[in-house]
């Protein structure tokens, strides 16, 4: 999920994703009540509101968070980092409190990375082979200002698997299902979550180039996913 430039001194490396799965499937998969409502998203961008799953008191509930973490101690609500490096989040002042007490699931069913070719940036879409939704590892915070509380989030990244590594040197942390409960539970210390940082298996994913429409957050429609070339070769797929 890559973008360009920097946010608050953090290189943007995971900056667009999709969530096109119908509400009823999301409710079943993530055990939350969306009241049957979800607008399909084909190009979620930083600064926009994203669907998240939180469980501060042990019970899952949906939340709407702005993508770009603002820590509680920030002087003003300027957009914060959209990513946190999983390997160093525990020691970064920006992220360490959220890593201990405010972890969330960010549902997605695909993400984009950009392949740099000379001066062009070519978008590539990554998803699970069966197309099912998955949970990205997120952190969230509350910032209190004159206009009331503002809830924001960021997505953790890790080293890439063999598929994503063909395009980018980082990838979002995709949570394996067996780790989702522990990730949501603030009683589980970060020290016990190291296995979460392992890259999601490349064999379970697929990728293909898509339309450059996705380069602009103005476009958020099925055309963003239109194939623009052959699929990337997958490790172990014989080609």
On the CB side of 99, CA atoms within 13 Å amount to 24
Average pLDDT over residues 195-204: 96
Long-range contacts of 75-79, Cβ-Cβ distance < 8 Å, separation of 24 or more: 76/145, 77/143, 77/145, 77/150, 78/8, 79/7, 79/8, 79/46, 79/47
- As a whole-number percent, the residues of the chain with pLDDT over 70 amount to 93
Would you kindly state where each structural domain of the chain is located, as residue ranges? Answer: 6-143+150-214
**Record: fold of 6-143+150-214:** hypothetical protein yedk fold (3.90.1680)
Which ranges in 20-128 belong to alpha helices (H)?
A: 23-30, 96-101
| Residues with catalytic function | 14, 113
Which one is predicted more confidently, 122 or 239?
Answer: 122
End-to-end CA distance of the chain: 24
Q: What is the pLDDT of residues 106-115, one digit of tens each?
A: 999 999 999 9
Look up the pTM and report it: 0.93
Which among 232, 211, 207, 209 is positioned nearest to 221, based on CA atoms?
211
pLDDT digits (tens, 9 = 90+) for 105-146: 999 999 999 998 888 889 999 999 999 999 999 999 999 988
């Amino acid at each position: 999920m890559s973008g360009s430039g920097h946010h608050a001194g953090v290189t943007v490396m995971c900056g667009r994703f999709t969530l096109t799965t119908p509400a009823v499937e999301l409710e079943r998969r993530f055990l939350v009540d969306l009241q049957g409502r979800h607008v399909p998203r084909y190009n979620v961008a930083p600064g926009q509101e994203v669907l998240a799953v939180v469980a501060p008191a042990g019970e899952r509930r949906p939340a709407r968070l702005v993508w770009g973490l603002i820590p509680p101690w920030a002087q003003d609500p300027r957009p914060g980092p959209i990513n946190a490096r999983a390997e160093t989040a525990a020691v970064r002042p920006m992220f360490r409190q959220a890593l201990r007490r405010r972890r969330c699931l960010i549902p997605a069913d695909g993400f984009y990375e950009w392949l740099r070719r000379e001066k062009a940036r070519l978008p590539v879409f990554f998803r699970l082979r069966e197309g099912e939704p998955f949970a990205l590892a997120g952190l969230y915070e509350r910032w209190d200002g004159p206009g009331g509380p503002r809830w924001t989030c960021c997505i953790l990244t890790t080293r890439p698997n063999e598929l994503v590594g063909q395009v980018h040197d980082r990838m979002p942390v995709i949570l394996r299902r067996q780790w989702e409960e522990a990730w949501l539970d603030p009683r589980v210390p970060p020290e016990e979550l190291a296995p979460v940082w392992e890259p999601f298996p490349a064999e379970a994913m697929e990728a293909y180039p898509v339309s450059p429409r996705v380069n602009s957050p103005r476009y958020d429609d099925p055309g963003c996913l239109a194939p623009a070339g052959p699929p990337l070769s997958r490790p172990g797929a014989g080609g």
